[in-house]
Amino acid sequence: MLRNTKILATLGPSSSTPEQILELARAGVNIFRLNMSHGSHDDHRARLAAIRAAEKALERPIGALFDLQGPKLRIGKFPQPTTVQTGARYEFVLDEVEGNAQRASLPHPEAFAALEPGHVILVNDGKMAFHVEQVEPRRIATRVTVGGEMSSNKGFNLPHTVLPMSAITDKDRKDAEFALQEGADWIAMSFVQTAQDVAELRQIVGKQAGIVAKIEKPSAVDDLEAIATLADGVMVARGDLGVELPPEDVPVVQRRIVHQCRHLGRPVIVATQMLESMITAPTPTRAEANDVATAVYEGADAVMLSAETAAGQFPLQAVQIMDRIIRRVENAPDYRKVMALDYSVADEPDRTDAIAACVRKVATLLPVTVSVAFTTSGASCLYLARERPSTPILGISPSLDTARRLTLVWGVVAYHGPDAENLEDMVVKTTFCATKLGLAQQGKPMVIIAGVPFGTPGSTNLLRIVYP
């Protein structure tokens, strides 16, 4: 498991038995995604139990991320699929009517309240586009700019519009409460528009789990820094983001999000269509392999598999090839140079920033085998990961919840073990853990950071170099 970039894999029909989950974890999955858009609470409870069983069998923390569905915007019903021609005039109405070649129901009052002339309505994952020309209280007049086939309940996107609605539905509230009851490590929030959406979920989640804000709308990109500051992690959700942005913008936005999260010290996940062809094929395309490699070079904390492991024919092979791509990149001669190019100092550095920066420097001067953090909350590991040191980061935490949450963080080998009682005990426990995990080498230094007095969150004030 000694690689920096983590693998987040989605569970589903192809990967939900205890045997399959154990096999995927053994192949390299660090954290599993439970998609609340599909399956019942009983289904997810059984999957979580299998994750915990795999964790016990492998004797290492494994994380669980519950992904909330978010608000689903859909057009109304059509008696039969209908072709709409490019250049035609088309109306969306608030009333419930049967769709045809001239109009369709858009049963979302918030859309009528927010849309303005010049905005765009995208239907069916962006395959069809409508230019808004006029907005009335119950009628929107548009011009079809990209025609196609309309049918019942297709989803729609409003890329230029911030909707006056919560990103948390009643279903999301129930799912979040369920996830917390079951012991979720992370909860992902879909269709975030502004930082206020994250604040709303925080009122439900508190500090019981980490919040991952999924960036999939242009308005969220515009409010990125505030969103990333309030959230505990960020996901570059390229599915809907790729619908609402021009394709040529997505790589640039991805790079910006990863850079911003690295600067703030927030874990960042690159997701969607990473190995898409492996849903039906045993090997990826060369472009997909390059896509995964690009995310690794950019310094993403994790890369995610969606349908590849949830519903694909080759879930195990998808994890194995992703693991091989990550390892190959991280062992490339230029990998460390690329990591260094994106290094930046915190805006308002504190003493933990200073200590973490010292660890990074020490690791360049001495043959350090591992950087160790004794941590209760996980914060010191985040500080170390932000520096992207050249050594593995061993995060030793007395809290199993913290250790599981750290499975998402770049470079961190999470270990659930007792906190140190004093400086001598700190060295003993570090040597034991590092040796057990194969991170120690006789005669080569290890760097340890901790807070004195021990067991006090946020008190990191000590750096020590020891030789096993």
- Nearest Cα residue to 50 out of 84, 90, 23, 28: 23
Which range, 200-204, 245-249, 342-346, is most confident? Answer: 200-204
Asked if pLDDT for residue 311 goes beyond 80, the answer is yes
Cα-Cα-Cα-Cα dihedral of 37, 39, 45, 49, to 10°?
-100
Same domain, 53 and 30: yes
The H helix count followed by the E strand count for the chain is: 17, 21
**Sequence-distant (≥ 6) Cβ neighbours of residue 368 within 8 angstroms:** 362, 390, 391, 444, 445, 446, 447, 465
Average pLDDT over residues 164-179: 95
Asked if pLDDT for residue 458 goes beyond 80, the answer is no
Would you place residue 248 in the very low, low, confident or very high pLDDT band (cuts 50, 70, 90)? very high
Q: At which of 133, 157, 181 does a domain end?
A: 157
CA angle 123, 237, 10 (to 5 degrees): 105
Average pLDDT over residues 9-20: 97
Asked if residue 63 is part of any domain, the answer here is yes
- Which residue has 């050594």 as its token pair? 391
Would you place residue 1 in the very low, low, confident or very high pLDDT band (cuts 50, 70, 90)? low
Lowest mean pLDDT across 357-371, 401-415, 445-459: 445-459
Using CB atoms within 10 A of its CB, is residue 238 exposed (0-12), middle (13-18) or buried (19+)?
A: buried
Same domain, 178 and 307: yes
3-state DSSP assignment of residue 450:
strand
Q: Where would I find the beta strands (DSSP E) of 284-360?
A: 302-305
Q: How far is CA 241 from CA 261, 335, 361, in A?
A: 17, 28, 37
Q: Where would I find the beta strands (DSSP E) of 380-445?
A: 393-397, 412-416
Asked if pLDDT for residue 334 goes beyond 70, the answer is yes
Assign residue 305 the CATH number of its domain.
3.20.20.60
Same domain, 174 and 276: yes
Count of domains observed in the chain: 3
Same domain, 53 and 132: no
- Nearest Cα residue to 127 out of 161, 154, 92: 154
Same domain, 10 and 44: yes
Same domain, 215 and 240: yes
Same domain, 109 and 10: no
pTM, two decimals, is: 0.93
Compute the half-sphere exposure of residue 151: CA atoms within 13 Å on the CB side of its CA.
6
Alpha-carbon distance of 244 to 238, in angstroms, equals 10
Assign residue 362 the CATH number of its domain.
3.40.1380.20
Asked if residue 391 is part of any domain, the answer here is yes
Alpha-carbon distance of 296 to 5, in angstroms, equals 7
Asked if residue 338 is part of any domain, the answer here is no
pLDDT per residue over 70-112, tens digit each?
998 999 999 999 999 999 999 999 999 999 999 999 999 999 9
Same domain, 317 and 181: yes
Asked if residue 148 is part of any domain, the answer here is yes
Structure-block tokens of residue 160: 């230029």
**Sequence-distant (≥ 6) Cβ neighbours of residue 155 within 8 angstroms:** 72, 73, 74, 123, 124, 125
Same domain, 305 and 273: yes
Core vs surface per residue 311-343: b (16+ CB within 10 A) or e: ebebbbbbbebbbebbbebbeeeebeeebeeee
Q: Where would I find the beta strands (DSSP E) of 56-138?
A: 63-67, 82-84, 89-93, 103-105, 120-123, 128-136
pLDDT per residue over 20-55, tens digit each?
999 999 999 999 999 999 999 999 999 999 999 999
Look up the domain containing 17 and give its range: 6-71+167-331
Same domain, 65 and 100: no
Q: What share of the chain is helix, strand, coil (3-state, %, to 5)?
A: 40, 20, 40
Number of residues that make up the chain: 468
Q: Where would I find the beta strands (DSSP E) of 312-398?
A: 371-374, 393-397
Residue type, 112: F
Asked if residue 29 is part of any domain, the answer here is yes
- Nearest Cα residue to 262 out of 412, 358, 387, 390: 387
Same domain, 311 and 185: yes
